[in-house]
Structure 1
């Protein structure tokens, strides 16, 4: 009898960060698409701002759906990473195949108290990443995965 893995979702800070990026990029595009044509060609042309505004609203909704789709589970012999809204993708990373586990945090991630975990395996195409973890969780996971990887080394 197999038991279902215990899935862990990502913290809400990642959703806030992604929504900020949507607003910055598409909000700026909305202003440019409305102001420039409105001033240069005429007020009716300012309606072009509705296109990036619609994209902003759509991006706001999609950011949450994407954030909810990310999750991971630690099992006895491997780590599962699941993501995707339309196309679900599930990555299985055996502990014995991991070569390097690193924690990174860019300026925006640090501002939101987040870090990303990057797993490098023997096959270049099978590298896996978990974005938006709390730094303490990312470090705990890094240490645990490194320990399990050394214990279950496949002898490469």
Structure 2
């Protein structure tokens, strides 16, 4: 799985060339996990330890255990996300336990958005959201480098216009 490089739009034989998400997305998600569950552990353990007794403060270990489990799960989830540009469509694959692969034909794309919230901008990340004619379409690629997100948006828009004009 490649990260950080522009994907090759061709294929090797019948296999698409997959591109993974940048490691900064994993860093951002793990930071959020540590901050929120660390605050929960502190907010749970400190009052219980002071008011009820030190033995009750051990309940603060539950958020810490959840943090350790979440750290591993976030890594597995991050590794599962990938996308591939093919000649006629875009493939998005994700999921660890339930694997999901979305195929978005270029001619069905109506709108391609690049979004980036304040935290994502701090980590130099942007997401690409694809809107198609189908109401249930949830094709999105989170946490790309902003330059890659803009390149992907421009390419998908160009290919979508070319494919829909041919209909």
Q: TM-score range by the shorter chain?
A: over 0.9
* Cα distance between partner residues in 2 of 1:105 and 1:138: 10
> Which structure is higher in helix share?
1
Q: Please, which of 70, 73, 93 is the counterpart of residue 104 of structure 2?
A: 93
Which SS does the other structure have where 1:59 is aligned?
helix
What is the Cα deviation at residue 127 of structure 1? 2.9
Displacement, 1:155?
A: 7.8
Residue matched to 2:31? 20
User: In structure 2, which of residues 133, 143, 167 is the aligned counterpart of residue 122 of structure 1?
Assistant: 133
Cross-structure match for 1:79: 90
Q: Secondary structure at the match of 2:55?
A: helix
Aligned counterpart, 1:10: 21
CA–CA separation in structure 2 for the residues paired with 1:32 and 1:64: 26
Match for residue 159 of structure 2? 148
Stretches of structure 1 that go unaligned for 5 or more consecutive residues are none
1:97 and 1:154 in contact (8 A); partners too = no
Indicate conservation of the 8 Å contact 1:83/1:89, yes or no.
yes
The residue aligned with 1:43 is: 54
Tell me the number of residue pairs that the alignment of Structure 1 and Structure 2 aligns.
156
State the distance in 2 between where 1:83 and 1:49 align: 33
The answer for the alignment partner of 2:147 in structure 1 is 136
- Residue in structure 2 matching 1:112, options 102, 117, 123: 123
Q: Taking structure 2 as the reference length, what is the TM-score of the superposition? A: 0.90
How far apart are residue 35 of structure 1 and its match? 0.6
1:58-106 superposed Cα distances (whole Å, 9 cap, x missing partner): 1111111110000000001000000001100000000000000010000
